[in-house]
């Protein structure tokens, strides 16, 4: 599973092929006095799967929320598929159309049915005709194995089902990159796997993914690279095999011992 499968994407131009789809340079972010991201440099290749882990408060969420401008950065550059994120609303909208996001708490729209959740943005943002958007949505719901619930409201679904709908909703916009912010940490244990399976399937299909998670099994099976963040910096970046067997920094070792003990423990 591990290894580079950066297949050429037919619709992308030749020049774009090798350029990273996301380029982050010397990124800094402050919340008031609090310096949350301290000089992040990261290139994400097309089709690359990156898992980000690290202790609570290390800035993982902040980093991926900067990528679609849910948070504003103060220094450095973020370029997504050739578009730099600035205060220019047109750039922000362009980037958001290409990046899908899945949240820890799903954030489905409770007043819309599952199907309506999935067709809203394609119709309003991509200007797709209703029938086409519905057909796409149904295919995606099929893919996350929730097609039978298309006409239900989110409150009538379990957590795992809701998160799968949230993934389908993001995919309906046909994004080039998917961001996941701890997609399974609000779920009951027995529902974690059904969501992870969908994400693994997505990874196999070649989607570019940035996943904040502590699910180390997921990291081992699909990640191309694992990043370890602490106090606003990327301390370590390595292929999963190296990351788990030969962590370089003390902080990574400490973190891994805590995580793995926790995972293996009763």
Ligand X SMILES: Nc1ncnc2c1ncn2[C@@H]1O[C@H](COP(=O)(O)OP(=O)(O)OP(=O)(O)O)[C@@H](O)[C@H]1O
Residue 91 contacts another protein per CB under 8 A: no
By the rule CB under 8 A, 196 interacts with another protein: no
Comparing CB distances to another protein, the nearer of 104 and 231 is 104
Interacting positions 92-111 with another protein (CB under 8 A): 93, 96-97, 99-101, 103, 105, 107-111
Applying CB under 6 A, does 34 fall inside the site for ligand X? yes
Residue with tokens 């599973």: 1
92's CB contacts (< 8 A; 6+ apart) are 69, 85
Residue 70 binds which entry of Mg ion, another protein, ligand X, none, CB below 5-8 Å type-dependent: another protein
Q: Is 173 in the site for another protein (CB under 8 A)?
A: yes
Size of the site for ligand X (CB under 6 A): 11
Binding status of residue 109 toward ligand X by CB under 6 A: no
- Closer to ligand X by Cβ: residue 224 or 230: 230
Sheet of strand 22-31, all strands in order from the earlier edge strand to the far edge:
34-44, 22-31, 75-80, 83-84
Q: Does 180 bind another protein (CB under 8 A)?
A: no
According to the binding rule CB under 6 A, does residue 213 interact with ligand X?
no
Residues within the interface to Mg ion (CB under 5 A): 61
Residues within the interface to another protein (CB under 8 A): 68-70, 93, 96-97, 99-101, 103, 105, 107-111, 120-121, 124-125, 153, 155-156, 169-170, 173
């Amino acid at each position: 599973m591990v290894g580079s499968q950066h297949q050429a994407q037919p619709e992308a131009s030749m020049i774009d092929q090798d350029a990273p789809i996301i380029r982050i340079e010397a990124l800094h972010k402050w919340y008031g006095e609090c310096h949350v991201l301290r000089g992040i440099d990261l290139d994400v290749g097309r089709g690359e799967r990156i898992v980000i882990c690290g202790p609570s408060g290390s800035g993982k969420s902040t980093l991926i929320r900067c990528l679609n401008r849910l948070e504003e950065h103060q220094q450095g550059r973020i370029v997504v598929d050739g578009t730099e994120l600035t205060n220019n609303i047109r750039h922000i909208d362009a980037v958001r159309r290409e990046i899908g996001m899945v949240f820890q708490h799903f954030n489905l729209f409770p007043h819309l049915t599952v199907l309506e959740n999935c067709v809203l943005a394609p119709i309003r943002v991509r200007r797709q005709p209703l029938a086409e958007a519905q057909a796409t949505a149904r295919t995606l719901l099929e893919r996350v194995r929730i097609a039978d619930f298309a006409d239900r409201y989110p409150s009538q679904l379990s957590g795992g089902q809701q998160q799968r709908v949230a993934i389908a909703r993001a995919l309906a916009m046909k994004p080039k990159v998917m961001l996941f912010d701890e997609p399974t940490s609000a779920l009951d244990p027995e529902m974690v796997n059904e969501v992870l399976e969908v994400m693994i399937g997505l990874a196999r299909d070649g989607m570019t993914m940035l996943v904040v998670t502590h699910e180390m099994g997921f990291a081992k099976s699909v990640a191309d690279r694992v990043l370890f963040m602490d106090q606003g910096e990327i301390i370590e970046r390595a292929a999963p095999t190296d990351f788990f067997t030969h962590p370089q920094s003390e902080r990574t070792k400490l973190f891994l011992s805590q995580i793995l003990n926790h995972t293996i423990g009763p």
